[in-house]
Amino acid sequence: MHETSISHLQGRDPEVAGLVEAEARRQYEKIRLIASENYVSPAVLEATGSVLTNKYSEGYAGKRYYEGQQNVDPIELLAIGRAKELFGVEHANVQPYSGSPANLAVYMAFLEPGDPVMGLSLPMGGHLTHGWSVSATGKWFDPVRYDVRADTGRVDMDKVRDLALKERPKLIWCGGTAIPRTIDFPAFAEIAREVGAVLAADIAHIAGLIAGGAHPSPVGHADVITTTTHKTLRGPRGAMIMSTAEHAKAIDKAVFPGLQGGPHNHTTAAIAVALREAAQRDFSGYARQIVANAGALAAALLERGYDLISGGTDNHLILIDLTNKGIAGKPAAQALDRAGIELNYNAVPFDPRKPFDPSGLRLGTAAITTRGLGEAQMPRVAAWIDEVVQAAAKGDETVVDRVAAQIREFLASYPMPGWTSTP
């Protein structure tokens, strides 16, 4: 059952309670490989579900527009202090409602409408908010997009430099949502310096790896760093913007009053809790295990003939091109979900198929690592994936129920934070 308790909810609103309980069970019974997801701790859940949600706190600690901030101010200062300590930055703003608003605040802080902005194109692994056409950032600014190389699946830094010299962006984004390889922050910093652009590192996916020492840090290279707090960092839905002291004022003003009203204090508290957890010694073990698991899973998939973008992974994320398996990403993802393996269909670089029906699958190992799976379990996970994908390619549904039952039994040995088996 759901842990923390939802007994009041069950009494007041059985309909919603039933769905929350069903979701907890679903998360318990599935191998969750969505690269942006995780399981937060019961402590983070408790902070998220606390009375802090009742309080309005527009402004910043010591400079609020509402009274009664005796407890909220210290909470926000704790979160800020912990972020600065954990990532080694001079300034942190913990108020952005989520990753997309955090990125918008960077535009607000440094750009005027119509200014040129450069980012990795969405189908190559970038994020919508890095200037993609359907995003406000692509409509209100002048986007320039870099790619990955067709032969290596990696960002081509020579091309990034040529493009930056030609287009003179005022802001350059590095980072993205489907990048299986280490981001070369020093190389981006050199290019940004050369063209006089602000360099923003969006570490939403890899923040937990950076905090745990399993990926190089952009600190000292990027002018500004944005991150969600709910992916590998394993906190609540939220975001942070970090920077040198030089940009502190511009960023704070952009978040409030530039873009937002009152901060979500329950989220701020949960961010503080997650940052404390990320500073514990075992967190670097978790971060390294995520990378080791992804490496082991990639090796097992390669052995089974899967075509991995860039040939493997350096981080938590694997991008598969299914073309040689005779099935597209969406039907494969749907069959896998029915079989108890949850991931998402995804475009691959230079995908000939449409974005809503692309060629690939994206998966990540953060959630299963939190659950306690290790490298020894990865060949088994790969075997299940392969079995279901092959069956789905042949239109054979019979394996789905059998694999789902096997997975339920398998996962019973791996406790889930937020779920207790004994009522």
Ligand X SMILES: *Cc1c(COP(=O)(O)O)cnc(C)c1O
| Cis bond upstream, residue 349 (ω within 30) | no
User: Is-catalytic flag, 409?
Assistant: no
Closer to ligand X at the Cβ: 30 or 127? 127
Catalytic position from the list 48, 228, 267, 369:
228
Angle subtended by helix axes 378-393 and 329-338, to nearest 10: 120
**Which region, left, alpha or beta, applies to residue 61 given φ > 0 means left and ψ of -120 to 50 means alpha?**
beta
Instruction: For residue 123, give every residue at least 6 positions away whose Cβ sits within 8 Å of its Cβ, in sequence order, or none.
Output: 347, 349, 351, 355
**In this structure, what token pair is assigned to residue 209?**
């790896």
Closer to ligand X at the Cβ: 129 or 293? 129
Q: Are strands 198-202 and 360-364 parallel, antiparallel or unpaired?
A: unpaired
Q: Is 37 in the site for ligand X (CB under 6 A)?
A: no
Single out the segment in contact with ligand X by CB under 6 A; choices: 22-30, 66-74, 197-205, 398-406.
Answer: 197-205
Q: How far is the CB of 307 from ligand X (least distance, A)?
A: 23
Distance CA(257)–CA(168), nearest Å, equals 29
Q: Is 202 in the site for ligand X (CB under 6 A)?
A: yes
User: Is-catalytic flag, 63?
Assistant: no
Closer to ligand X at the Cβ: 99 or 235? 99
User: Is-catalytic flag, 167?
Assistant: no
Distance CA(37)–CA(343), nearest Å, equals 10
User: Is-catalytic flag, 58?
Assistant: yes
**In this structure, what token pair is assigned to residue 154?**
């990696």
User: Is-catalytic flag, 237?
Assistant: yes
Looking at residues 56 to 75 of the shown chain, list those that interact with ligand X (rule: CB under 6 A).
none
Which of 116, 143, 153, 176: binder of ligand X (CB under 6 A)? 176
- Cα dihedral across residues 16, 20, 25, 27: positive or negative: positive
Q: Is 177 in the site for ligand X (CB under 6 A)?
A: yes
Q: How far is the CB of 204 from ligand X (least distance, A)?
A: 3
Which of 3, 21, 46, 98: binder of ligand X (CB under 6 A)? 98
Q: Is 417 in the site for ligand X (CB under 6 A)?
A: no
Q: Is 175 in the site for ligand X (CB under 6 A)?
A: yes
Q: How far is the CB of 9 from ligand X (least distance, A)?
A: 25
Q: How far is the CB of 414 from ligand X (least distance, A)?
A: 25
Single out the segment in contact with ligand X by CB under 6 A; choices: 45-53, 202-210, 284-292, 388-396.
Answer: 202-210
Amino acid at 42: P
Single out the segment in contact with ligand X by CB under 6 A; choices: 98-106, 260-268, 313-321, 379-387.
Answer: 98-106
What x/- string results for residues 99 through 138 when contact with ligand X is judged by CB under 6 A? xx--x-----------------------x-x---------
CB neighbour class for 246 (10 Å; exposed up to 12, middle 13-18, buried from 19): exposed
Distance CA(83)–CA(274), nearest Å, equals 10
User: Is-catalytic flag, 170?
Assistant: no
Q: Is 204 in the site for ligand X (CB under 6 A)?
A: yes
Q: Is 36 in the site for ligand X (CB under 6 A)?
A: yes
Single out the segment in contact with ligand X by CB under 6 A; choices: 63-71, 169-177, 307-315, 317-325.
Answer: 169-177
Single out the segment in contact with ligand X by CB under 6 A; choices: 47-55, 200-208, 329-337, 353-361.
Answer: 200-208
What residue ranges bind ligand X (CB under 6 A)?
Answer: 36, 98-100, 103, 127, 129, 175-177, 202, 204-205, 228
